[in-house]
Amino acid sequence: MQHTMTCLWMDHWIEEAVNFYVSLFPNSRIVDVSHYPDSMGDMAGKVLVMNFELDGTRYMAINGGPEFKYTEALSIFVNCADQAEVDRLWEALTVNGGSEGPCGWCKDRYGLSWQIAPVEFSNYITGPDKAGAERAMAAMMKMKKLDLAALRQAYEG
C-alpha cells in the first residue's frame, strides 16, 4: 500500500469525477468505495470516500460538500509520452466546462487543475543550451496547450 496519497475534496459529483479520471489513463481503477452511515441524515447512503488509482498512483476522493474549492495551488502533473497523448488529455479535460490555462495548465469541468506536458518538455526548457532553453521558455509562455514540435523548434533555433 502506498504510504502517502493525495486526497481530493469533492462535492456531490464524486462518483462522476472519479469515473471520468479513471477513464483517462491506462492502468487505472477504482480500488474501493465507502458510504456515509445511516445516522448521517441527508448524506446517509451517499458515497463518502473513493480510493482510486490513475496509472498506478493511488488517490483518495472525499465527498465533503461544497465548502472547499480547488485552486491552482494544487494540480496533477501528467508526463505524456508524446504529442498525441497531450492532445487527447487536453481535449478530454477541457471540454464540457473545463478551461484552458497558460503553459500546459488546464482545469477540468470539476475545477481541478492539471499540467499536461510531454516528457521531452523539460529537455527543452532546462537543456544544456542556455540560449535554446530561453527560446523554448519564451515560446512556452505564449502557449496554452504545449506543442512539442514548436518547443523543439524554438530550442534548436
**Residue-level pLDDT, tens digit, the chain, 157 residues:** 778 999 999 998 999 999 999 999 999 999 999 999 999 999 999 999 999 999 999 999 999 999 999 999 999 999 999 999 999 999 999 999 999 999 999 999 999 999 999 999 999 999 899 999 999 999 999 999 999 999 999 999 9
The answer to whether residues 95 and 137 belong to one domain is: yes
Q: Determine the structural domain holding residue 136 and report its residue range.
A: 70-157
3-state percent helix, strand, coil for the chain, nearest multiple of 5: 35, 30, 35
Do 151 and 82 share a domain, yes or no? yes
98 three-class SS: coil
Supply the pLDDT for residue 127: 85
Long-range contacts of 50-54 (CB under 8 A, 24+ apart): 50/14, 50/15, 50/18, 52/18, 52/21, 52/22, 52/28, 53/22, 53/27, 53/28, 53/29, 54/21, 54/22, 54/24, 54/25, 54/28
Query: In the chain, how many domains are there?
Result: 2
Indicate whether 74 and 36 sit together in one domain.
Answer: no
C-beta of residue 108 within 8 angstroms of C-beta of residue 117: no
CB 79 within 8 A of CB 117: yes
Residues 64 and 6 in one domain: yes
Q: Which of 68, 89, 121 is the last residue of a domain?
A: 68
How many other C-beta atoms lie within 10 A of the C-beta of residue 69? Answer: 8
Among 12, 40, 68, where does a domain finish?
A: 68
Among 42, 107, 143, residue whose Cα is nearest residue 153: 143
User: Is there a single domain that holds both residue 153 and residue 81?
Assistant: yes
Is the pTM of the predicted complex or chain greater than 0.95? no
